[in-house]
């Protein structure tokens, strides 16, 4: 079964005629555990080198209105998300008594959500997350960690 490609246009049309009192429950999508990779970063080093590009991949585990017609538990489909192109501004290290805060800002990038009938997402190789039908795409302004 082919994934629907017109989800966004149908949703947009539905939102235009929705009553003013209708409220969207957040989050409209719940992302499962993701895998992140960033340039020269090492897992046990809490810093990020300025200019490194962050990529995060994972599965969507729940949808709510206006996407509640999509079922992440459908055995014939795989819903995945991909954050790409987020550029590190470097890590600011701030000692605070017995604690240390590591703050990193990322700018730019894109969030994409896909529906795929081939369940081929592979965390070990970070492949198969960005194929299938694109059902949502958004620009990421700034991400702070």
Q: Is the pLDDT of residue 7 over 50?
A: no
Average pLDDT, the chain: 84
User: Mind listing the pLDDT tens digit for each residue in 72-83?
Assistant: 999 999 999 999
Neighbours of 27 (CB within 10 A): 10
> Is 119:127 a contact under the CB 8 Å cutoff?
no
Main-chain dihedrals φ then ψ at residue 8, nearest 5 degrees? -65, -40
pLDDT band at 11 (very low <50, low <70, confident <90, very high): very low
Is the model's pLDDT at 32 over the cut of 70? yes
Distance (Å, whole) CA 107 – CA 85: 8
Q: Looking at residue 23, what is its pLDDT?
A: 65
Contact call for residues 38 and 55 (beta carbons, < 8 A) = yes
- Most confident of the following: 26-35, 53-62, 118-127: 53-62
Residue pair 48/19 in contact (Cβ under 8 Å)? The answer is: no
The reported pTM is 0.78
Position 3 scores a pLDDT of 55
Q: Picking from 6-10, 72-76, 98-102, which range would have the lowest pLDDT averaged per residue?
A: 6-10
pLDDT at 4 over 50: no
Residue 52 has pLDDT above 50, yes or no: yes
């Amino acid at each position: 079964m082919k994934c629907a490609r017109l989800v966004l246009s149908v949703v947009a049309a539905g939102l235009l005629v929705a009553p003013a009192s209708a409220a969207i429950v957040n989050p409209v999508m719940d992302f499962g555990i993701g895998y992140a990779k960033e340039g020269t970063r090492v897992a046990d080093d809490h810093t990020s080198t300025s200019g490194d590009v962050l990529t995060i991949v994972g599965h969507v585990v729940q949808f709510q209105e206006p996407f509640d017609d999509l079922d992440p538990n459908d055995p014939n489909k795989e819903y995945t998300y991909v954050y790409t192109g987020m550029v590190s501004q470097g890590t600011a290290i701030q000692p605070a008594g017995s604690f240390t805060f590591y703050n990193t800002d990322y700018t730019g990038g894109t969030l994409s959500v896909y529906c795929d009938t081939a369940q081929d997402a592979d965390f070990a190789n970070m492949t198969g997350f960005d194929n299938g039908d694109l059902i949502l795409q958004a620009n990421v302004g700034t991400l702070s960690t």
